[in-house]
């Protein structure tokens, strides 16, 4: 999917350096948001995250692939905000499995391992996943963004 969303250099640096974001999918049963923290990477304008094949997010995406992703940072000192910034991104999600999408899967998986070495515990020496049938990569292509706190 072609990504027409552009991020400023400050937004890119912010997105790249933070380690946790929140992702929201919609439950097809009750239409309520399902929001969870994720570890993610941002590579060539696309976000990637890892998840298990039985994740609630995958069930939610089976009916609706539009997702919201929030990367934000708030810090206060003496009850004053010293950092108040974030990027809310509407994205189109695609779930990649190792067997059917090996190239795209490994692109996301390899970059996740680079940012989060903890993932290596779930990988062979060549970085292929030790549990390829159970592991999934969610590829998140930005559609629209709102940001605040950037000059």
pLDDT per position as a tens digit, 22-59: 999 999 999 999 999 999 999 999 999 999 999 999 99
C-alpha torsion 132→27→16→125, nearest 10: -10
Average pLDDT of span 103-108: 96
pLDDT per position as a tens digit, 115-125: 999 999 999 99
How confident is the model at residue 151, as a pLDDT? 79
How confident is the model at residue 2, as a pLDDT? 55
Given a contact cutoff of 8 angstroms between Cβ atoms, the answer to whether 92 and 127 are in contact is: no
Domain segments of the chain as ranges: 9-145
Given a contact cutoff of 8 angstroms between Cβ atoms, the answer to whether 106 and 112 are in contact is: no
Pairwise CA distance, residues 87 & 90, whole Å = 10
pLDDT per position as a tens digit, 131-144: 998 999 999 999 99
How confident is the model at residue 90, as a pLDDT? 98
Contacts of residue 13, defined as CB under 8 A and 6 or more positions apart, other chains included, come to none
Residue 96: pLDDT band by 50, 70, 90 thresholds?
Answer: very high
Which one of 1.10.10.10, 3.40.50.300, 2.40.50.100, 2.30.110.10 gives the CATH number of domain 9-145? Answer: 2.30.110.10
How confident is the model at residue 94, as a pLDDT? 96
What pTM was estimated for this model as a whole?
0.92
């Amino acid at each position: 999917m072609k990504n027409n969303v552009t991020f400023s250099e400050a937004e890119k640096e912010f997105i790249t350096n933070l380690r946790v974001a929140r992702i929201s999918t919609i439950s097809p049963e009750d239409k309520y948001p399902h929001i969870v923290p994720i570890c993610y990477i941002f590579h060539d304008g696309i976000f990637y995250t890892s998840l298990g094949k039985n994740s609630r997010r995958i069930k939610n995406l089976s009916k609706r692939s539009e997702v919201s992703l929030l990367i934000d940072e708030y810090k206060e000192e003496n009850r004053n905000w010293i950092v108040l910034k974030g990027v809310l991104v509407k994205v189109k999600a695609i779930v990649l499995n190792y067997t059917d999408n090996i190239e795209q899967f490994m692109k996301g998986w390899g970059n996740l391992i680079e940012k989060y070495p903890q993932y290596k515990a779930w990988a062979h020496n060549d970085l292929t996943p030790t549990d390829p049938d159970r592991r999934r990569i969610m590829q998140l292509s930005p559609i629209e963004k709102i940001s605040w706190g950037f000059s």
